[in-house]
Structure formats: C-alpha cells, structure tokens
C-alpha cells in the first residue's frame, strides 16, 4: 500500500518557470502524485508544450503567461489561478534568469537590475501573493507550502555572477522569515538549492569539455543533475508528509558541495 501522505489528490500546486527545466520537473512529479497544476511562464509556446505534458497525467492544468518581475501581473495571475482552480495549496517560486559579466569590475548595472528584478523581486511578489491567499483560507485546515528555488551559488563563490549569487543567497533568509511568521497559519516555507543541473540556463557549459572535466567530474555522483531529480522534493514539500518541516534549506547537488 502506498504511503498516503504523499498523495496530492485534491491539492493545487503553482510553479513559476514551470514550463521547462527544474520547474517542469517539479510540476510533472506533483501532477503524477495527483495534484492539479498551474504553471507560469513568459513563453506561450513553451507553456503549451508543458501543459500538454502535464495533462497526460490526468490532472487539471492551467498555463498562464506571467512575468514575475511585474508586480501587477503577479497579483493578477494569482487571483486568476485561485478563481479558476478554487485554491492554491503549494507555490514554488522557481522562475529565474542568469546574467554574468567578464569581471565584477565590468558588471553592467543594467544586467544587475534585470537579474534582481526576476530572481529576487519576482520571488518576493510571488510568495507575498501566495501567502496572502493562504492566510485568507487558513481556517480550512489545509495550510500551505511555499517553496523557493535558490542555488548552490548562494553558498559558493560564483565568480563573475555576483548578481545571480546575491539573489539566490537572499532567498534563504527570506524563506526563514516567512516560515516563522506564517507557521501559526499552518503554512510552511522552505528553500531548495540545486547544484549543477542540465537545463537551458546551463546549456553552454554542458557542451564544454573543459567545464565537464574540471567541474562535473568533481560531482561525487559523476553526472549533471536532471530536472527530474527535483520531483521527489517537490512532492514531499507539497504533501502532508512535510507538515512539520519548515524554514529549511535543502541542497541537491549530487554531493558537489561536500567534496
């Protein structure tokens, strides 16, 4: 008999950046576990492909074009998701972009601002709207789960990627503060830190022999991570199995950080 707390039937999960990469890996796993899924993405074609993939699991799927850096768009998107799906029980603030420079001394302010607008402001706007909704329905006994996707770069020295690292590092105390404030409402908040994962963002490095020799060979599991490697943690944090687990940072990097 399956362990019932992992069953997400009757729950709705919203994933920003859910049309590809880690976000789609998490959304797909939650759909397989029975959740209805909402995905946010800025590319309509990618949204449509992801929607078709998720619907194959037999759950309800809503794909929305939402720019998380736009505060008004986030509020409108969350309101639409709640109206159409009835409620949202898990929100994964996963949408993010890269943006580096030749050196820190040459780091363009424009790039810095753009990275912060998506990776930090976008997470803040998304989780704030999600928390507002979850607090409003706190009396239904279902609580809620807020999840942010950070990065190994929050802990490591990410040379030439100071803006990205700063945004990912900031998510850890943000999540802890949310967790403390909202525990009384049955709302949990946790952050996931991926290591080197094969997604569109890392496409250039994946085909770089020097990078694979010097970096990926240092991963104790001897491979790139895959989006599917984040399905289990997503289902866990969305499920009743994690009902007493909050304010945590979970590193999923194949052992890279400890080697």
| Residue 168 is among the residues annotated as catalytic for this protein | yes
**Token pair for 45:** 């074609």
| Residue 164 is among the residues annotated as catalytic for this protein | yes
Give the pLDDT of residue 74. Answer: 98
DSSP letter at 117 equals I
Split at pLDDT 50, 70, 90, the class of 203 is: confident
Q: Which residues pair with 225 in a beta bridge?
A: 197
The active-site residue, picked from 150, 151, 153, 242, is 151
Give the pLDDT of residue 45. Answer: 98
Residue pair 166/153 in contact by the 8 Å Cβ criterion: no
SS3 call for 226: coil
Alpha-carbon gap, residue 251 to 112, rounded angstroms: 25
Fold of the CATH domain 4-258:
Rossmann fold (3.40.50)
Q: 18-22, 79-83, 86-90, 155-159: which range is least confident on average? A: 155-159
Q: Which residues pair with 188 in a beta bridge?
A: 145
| Residue 114 is among the residues annotated as catalytic for this protein | no
| pLDDT tens digits for range 127-181 | 999 999 999 998 788 889 999 999 999 999 999 999 999 999 999 999 999 999 9
Q: Is 66 exposed, middle or buried (0-12, 13-18, 19+ CB in 10 A)?
A: buried
Split at pLDDT 50, 70, 90, the class of 252 is: very high
| pLDDT tens digits for range 38-67 | 999 999 999 999 999 999 999 999 999 999
Residue 1 confidence (pLDDT) above 80: no
Summarize the confidence of residues 79-89 as an average pLDDT. 98
The active-site residue, picked from 164, 239, 242, 256, is 164
| pLDDT tens digits for range 213-225 | 999 999 999 999 9
How many CA atoms lie less than 13 Å away from 134 in the CB half-sphere?
30
Alpha-carbon gap, residue 251 to 248, rounded angstroms: 10
The active-site residue, picked from 145, 150, 168, 256, is 168
Q: What ranges make up the beta strands (E) of the chain?
A: 12-16, 36-41, 61-65, 90-93, 144-149, 187-194, 249-252
Split at pLDDT 50, 70, 90, the class of 251 is: very high
Q: Where are the domains of the chain?
A: 4-258
Split at pLDDT 50, 70, 90, the class of 34 is: very high
Give the pLDDT of residue 139. Answer: 79
């Amino acid at each position: 008999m399956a362990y019932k707390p992992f069953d997400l039937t009757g729950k709705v999960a919203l994933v920003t950046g859910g049309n590809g990469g880690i976000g789609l890996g998490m959304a797909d796993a939650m759909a397989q576990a029975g959740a209805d899924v909402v995905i946010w993405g800025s590319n309509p074609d990618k949204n449509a492909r992801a929607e078709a993939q998720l619907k194959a699991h037999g759950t309800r799927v809503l794909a929305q074009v939402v720019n998380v850096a736009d505060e008004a768009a986030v509020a409108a998107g969350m309101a639409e998701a709640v109206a159409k799906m009835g409620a949202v029980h898990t929100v994964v603030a996963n949408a993010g972009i890269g943006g580096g420079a030749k050196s820190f001394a040459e780091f363009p302010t424009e790039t810095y601002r753009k990275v912060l607008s998506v990776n930090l402001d976008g997470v803040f706007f998304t989780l704030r709207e999600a928390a507002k909704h979850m607090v409003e329905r706190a009396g239904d006994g279902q609580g809620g789960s807020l999840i942010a996707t950070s990065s190994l770069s929050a802990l490591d020295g990410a040379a030439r990627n100071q803006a990205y690292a700063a945004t990912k590092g900031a998510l850890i105390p943000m999540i802890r503060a949310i967790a403390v404030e909202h525990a009384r409402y049955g709302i949990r908040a946790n952050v996931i830190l991926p290591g080197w994962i094969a997604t569109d963002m890392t496409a250039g490095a994946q085909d770089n022999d020097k990078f694979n020799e010097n970096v990926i060979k240092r991963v104790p599991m001897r491979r790139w991570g895959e989006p599917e490697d984040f399905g289990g943690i997503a289902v866990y944090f969305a499920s009743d199995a994690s009902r007493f687990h909050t304010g945590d940072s979970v590193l999923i990097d194949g052992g890279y950080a400890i080697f």
